[in-house]
Structure 1
Amino acid sequence: MIAGNINILKLATLPESLYNILSRPEMELTNLQHLADGYYQVDQEKWFYNIGNSQTAPIDTRHTEFHKQFLDIQLILQGEEIIRYSLTDVITEPAFEKKPDLFILESPILTNSIHLKAGDFVTFYPGEPHQALCMVDEPRMVRKAVFKVPMNMI
């Protein structure tokens, strides 16, 4: 897991491939904030991203997930959320595949959390469990871009 802010990208110490994605001019925060909800893929690249609004919720109502093929970059465009996570590899833990490359853990143990606001991002490598969209004080709307980067690019 790597965390940072898109406005001070160099401090995040990202691998070059991820830095090259987030440092593209069209990935500036104000540009992303003005895009419509939807799926975006740049110039036939292998990576893509989705932009949309989601409702945060109490921790006990949120699922914990992980991926096997793609790295996630979750970038907050508006609002704020808490993402709970653990610095463990759960790739072999009991889980069910809700949709392609989205595995839901049956009995997650999450030991850490991060509070993200507009411009902040966090990466989750395959096998890293994360519970996104946890509310800060009360349920609220958060707008975010979620990048999916195939592991063979890292």
Structure 2
Amino acid sequence: MIYDHIKNLGLYKGIHPNLDKALTYLEENDVSKLTVGTYDIDDKNAFFFIQENILDDSLENRFEYHEKYLDCHLIIEGEELIRYGSGEKVELVDFDKDRDIGFVSCKRSYDFDLVDGYATLFFPEEPHRPNLFKEHLRAVKKCVIKVLID
């Protein structure tokens, strides 16, 4: 997991060629001007969603994870809490290979403030819980980049 300011994301180039494409795209394009929808960077190797999400204030111990794709979460408007799961994990439902998503509960968790200018990168198999309520805001506009890590 990486948590850093967007201006520093170029430091992570070299981890994987598909991630390099996504980071270069972020450097060269202003995603904050885009409307809700799905956008292509490099076909199935790197693409992203612009989303408007209602934040969740439940205390549920449920984290998503992926086997093939890295998730990069970047806030465009608003603030959210994002949670990283660690320690012993218990599978809650069978992994959906077609959608590349599974859900687990985790023994421990760590919270991060996802605010304007900051991003989190969750690598395959890293449990995370995005879109959590933070203080007074109920909704966010965000960019979620999916990067195939093979």
Deviates more, 1:122-131 or 1:12-21: 12-21
**Cα pair 2:4 2:119 within 8 Å, conserved:** yes
Q: 1:46 to 1:89 in 2, by over 3 A?
A: farther
Q: Give the TM-score, by structure 2 length.
A: 0.82
**Cα pair 1:75 1:144 within 8 Å, conserved:** yes
* Number of residue-to-residue matches in the alignment: 146
Match of 2:141 in 1: 143
* Deviation by residue 1:60-104 (Cα, 9 ceiling, x = unmatched): 1584211111111111111111111134585xx423246711212
Q: Give the structure with the higher percent strand.
A: 2
The alpha carbon displacement at 1:145 in A equals 0.7
Match of 2:3 in 1: 3
Structure 2 distance, partners of 1:60, 1:135, is: 10
Q: 1:111 to 1:8 in 2, by over 3 A?
A: same
CA RMSD of aligned residues (A): 2.6
Q: What secondary structure, in the 3-state scheme, does the structure 2 residue paired with 1:74 have?
A: strand
Structure 1 distance, partners of 2:147, 2:29, is: 22
In the alignment, structure 1 segments of 5+ residues that lack a partner are none
The alpha carbon displacement at 1:45 in A equals 5.9
Q: What secondary structure, in the 3-state scheme, does the structure 2 residue paired with 1:94 have?
A: strand
AA of the residue aligned to 1:22:
L
Runs of 4+ in structure 1 over 6 Å off:
none
